[in-house]
Amino acid sequence: MTAKIPVTVAYGDGIGPEIMNACLRIIEASGAPLEWETIEIGEQVYLRGNSAGIEPSAWESLRRTKVFYKAPITTPQGGGFKSLNVTTRKTLGLYANVRPCVSYHPFVDTKHPKMNLVIIRENEEDLYAGIEHRQTDEVYQCLKLITRPGCEKIVRYAFEYARANKRQKVTAFTKDNIMKMTDGLFHKVFDEIAAEYPDIQNEHWIVDIGAAKMADTPEAFDVIVLPNLYGDILSDVAAQIAGSVGLAGSANIGTHAAMFEAIHGSAPRRAGQNLANPSGLLLGGVMMLVHLGLADEAERVHNAWLKTIEDGIHTYDIYEEGVSREKVGTREFADAVIARMGKEPETLAPARYAKGKAAMPAAYIPSEVTAKKETVGVDVFLHWKERDPNQLGALLEPLAVDGLKLVMISNRGQKVYPGGLPETFCVDHWRCRFMSTTEGAPVSHAQIIRLLGRVTDAGLEFIKIENLCTFDGEPGFSLGQGQ
Ligand code: NAD
């Protein structure tokens, strides 16, 4: 007899325990050789004073099994509670969030009967680095961090996923017409890696029009790879327009571990009433079986589920008069899927998974990027309450000595000095750019420190600085509007 594969399971909060029970019963009925190790996460752990919602001992189980099957949890209201999902993804390095969004027409109502796409969302960086600061009375900042390793890992994962799952095309969405450096890097890396996969089509859309196209004609897309924030928003849109957020499962994949879940939350109002639909968590479980190399069991569960949906056995959230045959509760739905184990759908396409162990993604080897870096200036950010940029310019010009000149002042990215217009509204947060008096010449850290001393002595408050560097002669900073 083959040894059972250990899987860490968390029952979560709200509808979590009911839907997890249903899913584990179904997966067990498929004959999958799994053994569950239960850990506690969520509301009770948070309320015991653990700000991450997970006990330190749970990490030991997760690091050993490397596979986490997780029901939704309730994050208590109020400050001080960290998102368990963000913590788990970052701690275990689960960099790829994979969400298939498929319609089940005509059995589940949708405006997009042919929809079948997969969203692959970067999970570890972007605005979700959570580095936020209040800098002045009026201004708050959130740092958007996009890294070359982050882009390379997620884009390569998307192309590998497409190849392994016989998908034809990978599309990237970015906003690189505005964020030329951060989103520009994501697009650049996408083009570089796409060239290594000539068997797979590739395309890039600006995220706003791409999102509109996806909401209107989702069948035009196959695999979509996106930075974290766009992926977070658009994966919910895609799941909803496919039929219901209650039907979508999700995988979070890393080099060392993986986590599988539903995309919906703990729906506390529905808890304890045997009402909730376990389908999203079950399809997350199917992705887990595929990940573990249990393709036969994954097919059995997925096809029994498709047959149940096709037979019109529906929970309240997808029940529709005239289409559905029977409205059932969570337990009865699970019983119906178990009763169909070994059957296949007749109208919907049956699920087929490639046999063999679906390994974790290969360990990432960062590409060697070392450029010649030179500091050529500095942006000094000031908290200054007056709203007249010419007055600030007059205060700063005398400080631009010691080989430095004041190049410009901008407010929220708009150049306001020299040559600003009185119509431009200014807040109390000013970016003041100093560069060498000799065009393109380096500026030393000592010059910058002396400048900050003069700024402070003049009674001005600097909040932060950003050094302006060139990399192999290319500016590593935006030039700012109006330049
Ligand atoms: P939710 O997804 O829990 O519920 C939204 C609505 O969708 C509910 O009113 C319910 O009617 C319906 N619904 C969701 N899942 C369903 C299912 N399986 N069957 C039937 N109906 C279903 O979103 P919410 O109400 O905004 O959040 C509730 C809690 O869940 C919050 O504490 C939130 O922080 C948490 N949450 C957790 C996760 C997670 O653990 N992965 C994800 C999202 C939200």
Whether 355 has a pLDDT exceeding 60, the answer reads yes
Where, residue-wise, is CATH 3.30.70.1570 in the chain? 373-475
The residue whose C-alpha atom lies closest to atom 30 belonging to ligand 1 is 265
Q: Quick one: which atom of ligand 1 is closest to the CA of 15?
A: 18
Report the separation in Å between the CA atom of 112 and the middle of ligand 1, taken as the mean of its atom positions.
23
CA angle 89/81/139 to nearest 5° reads 95
The stretch 102-113 carries a mean pLDDT of: 93
Exposed e or buried b per residue across 450-477, where buried means at least 16 C-beta atoms within 10 angstroms of its C-beta:
bbbebbeeeebebbebeebbbeeeeebe
List where CATH 3.40.718.10 sits in the chain: 5-339
Computed over every residue of the chain, the mean pLDDT equals 94
Helix, coil or strand: residue 173: strand
Pocket residue to mutate for ligand 1, from 44, 84, 247, 264, most atoms within 8 A of Cβ? 264
Q: With bands split at pLDDT 50, 70 and 90, how would you rate the model's confidence at 482? A: very low
Contacts of 378 (CB under 8 A, 6+ apart): 433, 434, 443, 448, 451, 465, 466, 467, 468
pLDDT over threshold 50, residue 374: yes
37: β partners: 8
State whether the beta carbon of 13 lies less than 6 angstroms from ligand 1.
no
Between residues 18 and 42, which one has the greater pLDDT? 18
What are the percentages of helix, strand and coil residues in the chain, rounded to 5? 35, 25, 40
**Of residues 252, 320, 268, 267, the one with CA closest to residue 109:** 320
Q: Is the peptide bond before 198 cis (omega within 30 degrees of 0)?
A: no
Q: Note the pLDDT of residue 480.
A: 66
> Which of the four pLDDT bands, split at 50, 70 and 90, describes residue 319?
very high
Mutate to test the pocket of ligand 1, among 266, 282, 327 (most ligand atoms within 8 A of CB): 266
pLDDT-wise least confident of 71-80, 250-259, 260-269, 292-301: 71-80
For 149, other C-beta atoms within 10 Å of its C-beta total 16
Confidence of residue 481 (pLDDT cuts 50, 70, 90): low
Distances 467 to 104, 175, 206 between C-alpha atoms, Å: 53, 24, 29
**How many residues belong to the chain?**
483
User: Does the CB atom of residue 266 touch ligand 1 within 6 A?
Assistant: yes
Mean pLDDT of 453-482: 92
How many A from CA of 275 to the centre of ligand 1?
Answer: 13
More confident of the two residues 388 and 440 = 388
Given a cut of 80, whether residue 256 has pLDDT beyond it is yes
pLDDT above 80 (res 460): yes
For residue 169, pLDDT beyond 90: yes
Residue type, 396: L
pLDDT at 51: 84
Question: Quick one: pLDDT at residue 483?
Answer: 36
Least confident of 12-16, 75-79, 358-362, 457-461: 358-362
177 C-beta neighbours (distance < 10 Å), count: 12
Ligand 1 in reach of 42 Cβ (< 6 A): no
Mean per-residue pLDDT for 347-358? 86
> pLDDT of 396-439, one tens digit each?
999 999 999 999 999 999 999 999 999 999 999 999 999 999 98
With beta carbons less than 8 A apart as the criterion, state whether 54 and 306 touch: no
Q: How confident is the model at residue 56 (pLDDT cuts 50, 70, 90)?
A: confident
Asked if residues 457 and 402 have their Cβ atoms less than 8 Å apart, the reply is: no
The CATH number of 5-339 is: 3.40.718.10
Q: Give 373-475's CATH code, choosing from 1.10.1740.10, 3.30.70.1570, 3.50.50.60, 3.90.110.10.
A: 3.30.70.1570
In this prediction, residue 1 has a pLDDT band, given cuts at 50, 70 and 90, of low
pLDDT of 365: 86
- Please give the C-alpha separations between residue 210 and each of 101, 202, 226, in angstroms, as whole numbers: 16, 14, 11
Residue 171 predicted with pLDDT over 90: yes
